[in-house]
Amino acid sequence: MSIQAPKGFNDFLPGEQYGWKDSYRWQQLEEHFRKVAGQYGYQEFRPPLVEFLELFVHGVGTTTDIVTKEMFNIVPRGDDPDPRRMAMRPELTAGLCRMYIENGIANQPQPTKIFAFGPNFRYENVQKGRFRQLHQLDVEVFGAQDPAVDAEVIHLSLDVVGRLGLKGLTVNVNSIGCPVCRPKYREALQNHFRPHLAELCEDCNTRIDKNPLRLLDCKKDSRHPAQQNAPVGLDYLCDECKTHWEGLLANLNALSVNYQVDTRIVRGLDYYTKTVFEVVSPKLGAQSALWGGGRYDGLMETVGGKPTPGVGFGMGMERVLMALEAEGLLEGAFPARPRMDAFIATMGDVARPAGLKLLYELRAAGISTDIDYLGRSLKAQMKYAGKQNSRFVIILGEDEVKNGVAAVKNMDAGEQQTVPLTDLVRHIQTIG
């Protein structure tokens, strides 16, 4: 084997045989997302793929796995006067906050409703549904704390996949409070788990001081009795968070969103406050989360902006496409590749230049057209046109050129007629 793609980096090629890696399906998923987000009033932001490392450290959180062990770092050249490290973005939210601050978007009409999508990079152990270059569809709302916005964002995310036919998903929601109430809950968790530390795993022993909420989503110790009767975060919410939580549920009910309250989801990113949610599919194996998100009212301040509430989600494009494939919905979700309108088959040295001239005339008229570049026989050109699924084959030989006509074969009907060159565009547009 010669050189291969790096581990966790996928190739996307055109062709249905590539399944969820079919580049045409990716193109359609992106267009679909643009359309749905547009209908909800969201506008596209395009953050760079690289930011200063500092932004992600502050934005994503110093205790997160993403920052502590999964960052693709970029070390500046030795002769670069700016010595700051940069990093490939591991997620989109931090960069979007930076854009919002740096461009003074807060001075535009609020709230700011953003969609974005593209590749993110995490130095992970590769597995089914988990890659080092992963793609996300992302939505953020800055500048509104109304729980109706949390509900809108959740509804939007479900709408995106719902319109593609994906069903049987579980929507888990929870509230993890705010800087006012979370310390009390953290303390309650620490007091609850501390007596059992000797029986818990190494990670849990570290987490109890750094991030006790994540004791709850430890898989190793999930069956430990201390997990079963652990304090529930919802019981510790302050008045403001409690009101927000109840408002969220009321709004979700009003929108007929089918959700489950799961008090164990806490999310792996530090910036969340109040609402957190996760949507999982039963069809994906170990990496079952299709998307997740929540509210992060403190994030904008953390990365250097004025206090601004925010809520959003990141949806895994690979996982959505894989779930569609597992459900047999890939063909149904995305229409078939558009056909070519015409293929020009020429014979001989006289017809060739005439064919090339015609090729560009048809293209200029908006007719998708191709021609043979391998000097093949007429038979082989016909065969090739058939494989390309062209609607028409325009045949040019010496006789046709001499008479200013072309033999036009309708490949579906198998019929052929003689058409004046001056009438070709209209002929194809009429029938096609």
Binding site for RNA (CB under 7 A): 1, 4, 6-7, 17, 64-66, 91, 122, 124-131, 134, 136, 203, 214, 217-220, 267-269, 278, 285-292, 314-316, 318-319, 347, 374, 376-380, 382-387, 393, 395, 397-400, 407, 409, 411-412, 414, 416
* Residue 325, CA atoms < 13 Å, CB-side half-sphere: 17
Alpha-carbon span 7 to 17, nearest angstrom = 22
- Beta bridge mates, 410: 392, 415
Residue-by-residue DSSP string for 17-74? GGGGGBHHHHHHHHHHHHHHHHHTT-EE----SEEEHHHHHHHH-TTSHHHHH---EE
Alpha-carbon span 214 to 365, nearest angstrom = 61
Smallest separation (angstroms) from RNA to the CB of 396: 7
Smallest separation (angstroms) from RNA to the CB of 143: 22
- Closest to RNA by CB, 206 vs 253, is 206
Alpha-carbon span 118 to 124, nearest angstrom = 18
- Closest to RNA by CB, 217 vs 301, is 217
Smallest separation (angstroms) from RNA to the CB of 78: 28
CB 299 within 8 A of CB 306: no
Smallest separation (angstroms) from RNA to the CB of 386: 3
Smallest separation (angstroms) from RNA to the CB of 179: 19
- Closest to RNA by CB, 261 vs 380, is 380
Which CA distances in Å does 321 have to 105, 110, 135, 220, 333?
A: 33, 33, 11, 29, 10
Smallest separation (angstroms) from RNA to the CB of 63: 9
Residue 119, φ and ψ in degrees, nearest 5:
-80, 140
- Closest to RNA by CB, 17 vs 229, is 17
- Closest to RNA by CB, 86 vs 395, is 395
Residue-by-residue DSSP string for 145-214? --HHHHHHHHHHHHHHHHTTT----EEEEEE---TTTHHHHHHHHHHHHGGGGGGS-HHHHHHHHH-GGG
Smallest separation (angstroms) from RNA to the CB of 391: 9
- Closest to RNA by CB, 105 vs 317, is 317
Kindly provide the b/e burial profile for residues 163-195, where b requires at least 16 CB atoms within 10 angstroms of the residue's own CB.
ebebeebebbbbbbbbeebbeebbebbeebbee
Smallest separation (angstroms) from RNA to the CB of 16: 12
Smallest separation (angstroms) from RNA to the CB of 250: 25
CA-angle at 422, arms to 418 and 423, nearest 5°: 55
- Closest to RNA by CB, 102 vs 399, is 399
Which tokens go with 393? 């084959």
- Closest to RNA by CB, 181 vs 385, is 385
- Closest to RNA by CB, 146 vs 368, is 368
Which CA distances in Å does 302 have to 267, 297, 308, 376?
A: 18, 10, 10, 65
